Amino acid sequence: MKKFYLFIIPLLFCVGPGSYGQWSYTNLSAPKAYMGVASLGSKVYFAGGMNDSGLKSTVEIYDFSTGLWDTTQHLSVARDLVTATTCGSKVLFAGGVDFFSSSNVYATVDIYDTLTNQWSVHQLSAARLNITALSFGNKVLFAGGANTQLQAFDNIDIYNCATDTWSVEYLPVPRFTYGGVVNNLGILPGGYDSTGGVTKRVDIYNFTTGTWSVDSLSVARAWVGVTTIGDKMLIAGGATHDAIQSNVVDIYDASTGIWTDTTLSIARSFCDNQNVVNVCGKAYFIGGGKMNLNGPYWEAAYNQIDIYDLTTNTWSVDNIPTITATVHRAAASIGDQFIIAGGIWGSYSSNAEIYSCINTNVEIIPEKNLIIYPNPSTELITISLPENSLPGHLSIINPIGQEVLQQTITNSFAHIDIREMPTGIYFAKVICGNKIHTVKIIKE
């Protein structure tokens, strides 16, 4: 029988210079970098990676609702540079590489069902690393990717988490890039094409119609940071084929189809596309570094954070309050918080920094104190709060960290219409005074 380990680390709180919330600190079970990361419900899953002792198969799970770590889960194959995403109740970890044997690239997809605590394994149509995962509704597209020579693939492995079935299609052109989803559009911006050159091409997949269209970035570049906030996708930084760093931010408004651009405070590349998150209506472009593909691979690592505020359409700058900057960190957000962990710069790091944009005197209440029914549901859910907790503000966050619904609760019983939401697991948060009630919602 497996042992269950919980790592209980004291959390130290501080408010950094110029920060907009508070930072706290915990640790991975071991120093490591090159992890895959995804969030679902109240938990963040850090998978695989490596350190000086070799490749890792451990999936370290941090639960924001309890502040505890679980390290009992494992990938079927130890590897790094895994692509992680979610669909419904499942967390998927696809592809990857063995950095100790650069020819060993993986087609493995490990699938963890959070409802049953069961694992299954699938093989992609082609082994590759740095795959772009586009997740919307019941569908995940594992698109493109590369081998260790940065030769791009056009394969798209499509997983339907409602039917637990797979199919294969192909990109309009081979691509190796990072991407994301805004509204019902999956976007693959820039990156490397089939010639090994850096491109400004943007491929856009419409999940509703199943069709592709093409657009263009303002500047050709790879190694960009990508995130979605509201109706906007932000594509920031990156580098040219000659490893000239960029500070350009291309902003695509999916509601209008209009592109605009602005700049980061410093030019830099974002490795693994895992240093970009959004919480509380703001997008955070964290760290990054100065890349040189001719060696050394990284010339500098940064702690700087560029912050975009969707409400005010303004930018500000902050810093991660840590002693040493690293690259190849892994970051993910849940509700009002994000966590950024691991990395390497000279040596591997086990540091995990947690940022919260709530006030320091807010008390987080476990889900058992929030009455919600029926759950699971297909149409309507009812949330019940004590009279002394009113009024309350409700937010519902989808599996990729986007706020899909918000409303004020003024009565003891609030009815929430979830019919237009895709099936899957959501994270509901109700703020009442200085208390935050949290609960997992399942849309069937």
Mind listing the pLDDT tens digit for each residue in 312-347? 999 999 888 765 788 999 999 987 889 999 999 989
Instruction: Kindly list the structural domains of the chain, giving each domain's residue range(s) and its CATH number in brackets, ordered by start.
Output: 7-356 (2.120.10.80), 363-443 (2.60.40.2470)
Over 50: is that where the pLDDT of 14 sits?
A: no
DSSP class of residue 272 equals G
User: Can you give the pLDDT at residue 207?
Assistant: 93
User: Can you give the pLDDT at residue 432?
Assistant: 67
Question: Token pair for residue 45?
Answer: 């899953």
The label of the residue with tokens 């002394």 reads: 388
- 71-84 pLDDT, tens digit each: 999 999 999 999 99
Q: In angstroms, what CA-CA distances link 26 with 23, 62, 135, 172? A: 10, 10, 29, 43
Q: Which residue has the higher pLDDT, 329 or 5?
A: 329
Mean pLDDT of the 104-125 span = 96
User: How many Cβ atoms are within 10 Å of 329's Cβ, its own excluded?
Assistant: 29
Instruction: Compute the distance between CA of residue 262 and CA of residue 310 in angstroms, rounded to an integer.
Output: 14
Which of 321, 223, 324, 325 has the alpha carbon at shortest distance from 276? 223
Over 90: is that where the pLDDT of 414 sits?
A: no
Which of 230, 232, 180 has the alpha carbon at shortest distance from 202? 180
Q: Which residue has the higher pLDDT, 392 or 142?
A: 142
CA-CA-CA-CA dihedral for 270, 208, 175, 82, to nearest 10: 50
User: Can you give the pLDDT at residue 396?
Assistant: 80
Cβ within 8 Å of residue 267, ≥6 positions away? 237, 245, 246, 247
User: Can you give the pLDDT at residue 291?
Assistant: 84
pLDDT level of residue 42 (50, 70, 90 thresholds): confident
Residues in the chain: 444
Over 80: is that where the pLDDT of 201 sits?
A: yes
Q: Which residue has the higher pLDDT, 274 or 56?
A: 56
Q: Which residue has the higher pLDDT, 1 or 263?
A: 263
Instruction: Compute the distance between CA of residue 395 and CA of residue 384 in angstroms, rounded to an integer.
Output: 15
Instruction: Compute the distance between CA of residue 161 and CA of residue 351 in angstroms, rounded to an integer.
Output: 33
pLDDT level of residue 8 (50, 70, 90 thresholds): very low
pLDDT level of residue 12 (50, 70, 90 thresholds): very low
- 354-406 pLDDT, tens digit each: 998 864 444 444 444 567 778 788 888 887 766 556 666 777 877 655 667 77
User: Can you give the pLDDT at residue 18?
Assistant: 36
Over 50: is that where the pLDDT of 99 sits?
A: yes
Secondary-structure percent of the chain, ordered helix, strand, coil, rounded to 5: 0, 55, 45
pTM for the full model? 0.79
Instruction: Compute the distance between CA of residue 246 and CA of residue 357 in angstroms, rounded to an integer.
Output: 29
User: Can you give the pLDDT at residue 360?
Assistant: 40
